Amino acid sequence: MAEPHRRTVKFTRVEREMGLTDRVANQLLDMIAARQVRPGDRLPPEREIGESLGVSRTVVREAIRALAGKGVLSINSGRGVVVTQVNTDNVAEAMRLFIETRGGYHEEGPFSYEKIHEVREMLEVRVATVAAERATEEDLEELRAAFQALTEASDSPELSSIRDVEFHRTIAKITHNELYMVMLDSIGHVLLKIREETLGKRARRQGAIAFHKRILDAIEHGDSVEAGLAMADHLQDSANLWRSLGQKPTRANNRRSPRPVAVGESAPD
């Protein structure tokens, strides 16, 4: 393995006060964000960092451990502390823990289903619209394959849930804007759990396929308006079903449940 490159960096001394470890960690984060040190680079020794900042090695060590816990730094025996490449998995895992350690998507937690649905609706309706505008023929082939995999999984609630997630991820992918996938993946785990509860019945899985077919057709035809409407109807139908499973009644419960368009049937005007 190649020896990681070590860059010369300049630290700014910090004042001694409460939260010193956090201040050191924040300065390290600022340096990484400004690309003064980059993924694969090795940080200077703790003693050198401490002298530059005017703090003890213990404070530096605690700051480094805090950032290692966030996946920003990697502590390797014999190689020192190395800046890591933060990927979408790190973001998704952090968001999953953030939601689940605060009560998950249940009403007693701060992130109820209604809040998660609101964010999902804002994101995925836009994603479907953009996908219809930008999808190439190669993208459409990938989306058709994802839809076919979804239809073939209709006998299994668990596999249907996974294929459902993959279909929606594919739509995000063909926007050619990686941030859409990062944002969708950040709530992907909780959305998978919700799907596992709402796709328990075969009739429901068949209805979901019909909604997905309407979305696919709109994206295939490059109809961004219809793609957004189809996604909005699909998400509203999913929300209504979730509420019917025992959630507390809300004003949104009274909204008309959109009618799924059967495979092969024209979408409503």
Global pTM?
0.70
Residues 168 and 63 in one domain: no
Q: Which pLDDT belongs to residue 110?
A: 77
Domain containing 75 — which CATH number? 1.10.10.10
Residues 158 and 172 in one domain: yes
Residues 73 and 149 in one domain: no
Per-residue pLDDT of the chain (269 residues; tens, 9 = 90+): 566 777 777 777 655 555 889 999 999 999 988 889 898 899 999 999 999 999 999 999 999 999 998 888 999 877 789 998 877 777 777 777 787 777 666 666 678 888 889 999 999 999 999 999 999 999 999 999 999 999 999 899 999 999 999 999 999 999 999 999 989 988 888 888 889 888 888 888 889 999 999 999 999 999 999 999 999 999 999 999 888 876 443 333 334 444 444 434 434 33
Provide the residue range defining the domain that includes 165: 88-254
Q: Which pLDDT belongs to residue 35?
A: 87
Residues 43 and 147 in one domain: no
Residues 61 and 190 in one domain: no
Domain assignment present for residue 131? The answer is: yes
Read off the tokens for 9: 């960096």
Residues 113 and 241 in one domain: yes
- 122, 217, 237 from 129: Cα distances, Å: 11, 12, 18
Output b/e per residue, 126-155; b: 16+ Cβ within 10 A.
Answer: ebbbbbbeebeeebbeebeebbebbeebbe
Residues 125 and 212 in one domain: yes
| Beta-bridge partner residues of 83 | 73
Number of structural domains, the chain? 2
User: Burial of 167 by CB count in 10 Å (0-12 exposed, 13-18 middle, 19+ buried)?
Assistant: buried
DSSP state of 111: S
Residues 236 and 176 in one domain: yes
Alpha helices in the chain (DSSP H): 20-33, 46-53, 57-69, 88-100, 113-134, 137-152, 157-173, 178-186, 188-198, 202-220, 224-244
